[in-house]
Structure 1
Amino acid sequence: MGRKPNDSEPTRCATMILLVMGLFSCTVVYIFMSAVMRPTGNSAVERLAADDAEFGSGGGGGGVEGGGCCNGIESFELWGAAVKWGSDFKVKSSKECCEACKDMCTGNHGPCLCDTWVFCGDEKACGDKFGECWLKKQKDTLSPDKMDEGDKSMWTSGIVFGKGEGIVALETEFGAIHVKLLPECSPHSVFNILELLRFRHCAGCQFFRAETRGQVWDARGDHIKDASFGPPYGLLQGTLGAEGIPFETVPSEFCPEIRRGSVAWVGSGPEFFISLANHQEWKNAYTVFGYVLPEDLKIVEKIAQLPTKSDIWTGVNVTILENPVPLNVRRIKSSNDDLNLSR
């Protein structure tokens, strides 16, 4: 005789089935919500940091060429909260002091633990402070706190920008061109740019010369074999000489080979250019103070293709914009809401 089925067995099975279905439903909902709420990795800040990393910043920037830079400004002291006291930390040179700061700025994301270094290298003037290396942290890296400036200061100072930091925008009607600054390479130049950030407008700042790559350079900026070296010259030229804002002419600083995306002065400024090509033929002739983040080169290309007219400058055939493009130098902030790269 078969055993009579237990009335409680179906109940237990039904309960188990409902429990499994519930767990499955929760898992599906969790996976869906995680996919919706998880950062995509394409936020404005993340894309800026990624482009920045591609060009090798956080140790001088500007690609391989700028990686070894460690320059500062003599007779100039930057203030800030000390993260390493110079009275307890002495080194042999300003470069060694700079490198110590950069060593605290090796992370892939976020601000550096040290963004300012101050060194006393004049044995006579420094006295018992000779060799002191103060490592500091600014409240605002785009507006560093200056203590002393001029011939009487015995200090040499410099700043360091980490990945995603030290990026300013050249705003135009065609969009914002984001430029990573290179303070370790061209400190005088960068402080000129930081000075412009203090002002709301940059009246008179504009792009006025535009030349495509033509049939001389390919899309990567490499020179085409057996082609001439211009014209056209593959560049966008303008001025950062703003009306009513004094501009200090800059000394020759970081003069690497000009690469596609390099931002450099014409002479001692305030005229500058953005290169759309790799110009090995220019033989390290121009001070580079920044580079355009890769995704914004399309905006530079767009402006370079605007209507132009021919002219001759000191015997050189050039093309100038029929209608100059005004620009403004603006700081960017670190939150997604403060960035709009589509502008």
Structure 2
Amino acid sequence: MIGVLSMMLMVVVHRKANCQDPLVTNISDLRGLLTTLQTWEAQHADHPAQAGLRRVATELETVLVAQSTSPPPPVAVPAAASSTAEAERASLRSLAVGGTQCFVAQNAEFWGEPVVWGPDHHTHDAAECCAACRAHQLAAARGGLDAGPNSTACNTWVFCGDKDRCGPHYRECWLKHQQPIPPPDVRAASSGSNGKSMWTSGVVYDNDAVWIQQYDGRSTLTLHFEMGDVVVKLLPDLAPASVRELRRMAALLALEGTGCDGCKLYRSEVNFLVQGVIRHPGAYVATPRRPNPPQKKMMERGLACWAGGMGGPDWFVNLIDQSGFGDDHLCWGKIDDMSLLDAIVKLPTKPKAKPNEMTFLAKELRFNMTLS
């Protein structure tokens, strides 16, 4: 397979190198291809086709060098990221989606034992500083620091990104260690600046268990719509893994403060159900349908369950007592006050081509979630 692929790539690269107009318009794509080829070459050093991969990579490298005098096309920057603050927020969000929660506190300088000193350690923005702290943790876990895996690793970072206010400290990234590390909602207590500092600080936790533990006892999930609130009593006895992930997602939303990107209701069926989806970057509530404790065979009015016999992220609220679903659906919450759901069923819906088609709301209803 590798040999055939190397021959095909050789033909493509050869044609690129010998065409009348040698300008390669997708330089960045070819550079990515070169990186992939070099990775394959290293991974398959003993494969008979390894020499072919090397020839393809060499010729591709030659093409790229020949075009190096032509700058690559400019990268389109979204208008929302034009300011430094918006660009930094986007970077921090990317880290969150990648699994590194930074728990940022603006205008605060966190205390702690310095493990990397800022004057000798500069980063482009706060997100990069947060990533540096996480990289320091991983280096310690691999035994890459002087004292090995048990050495002091970064769990707190401090960055100065305001050029006018920071002066000589501009772009300094301090990596620090706090013991004990504070939970997210009280992390500002470790700051001595009362919210007026020129610094931006954050905490990076080793794993979710450290910061999610404080939410374990919270049993109410409130869905906030423009029309009002829906209060859901969580049912960990029926769906322990789903309740855990919903708690984690609500905690993440509270820390981000941006609202849920993909939480909405989109379907309503009179005397049946209201259906929607719970989805947000960096938080994935879908859990396996089984194994889980046996579900209620008589599905009560007000039960919130995952749709389609699956484990999410699509979900529904049952509007009537019925036994038709049996044990098929994993239910994770119970709504006692159904007045808002009853009002939603009466909202306008989209026309249907056939009577037996699903009924979709004319306007989807978005919501945010909080724990209590």
With the shorter chain as reference, the TM-score category is 0.3 to 0.5
Larger relative contact order (Cα-Cα within 8 Å, sequence gap ≥ 6) = 1
Q: What is the TM-score with the length of structure 1 in the denominator?
A: 0.41
Greater percentage in strand: 1
Q: What is the TM-score with the length of structure 2 in the denominator?
A: 0.38
Greater percentage in helix: 2
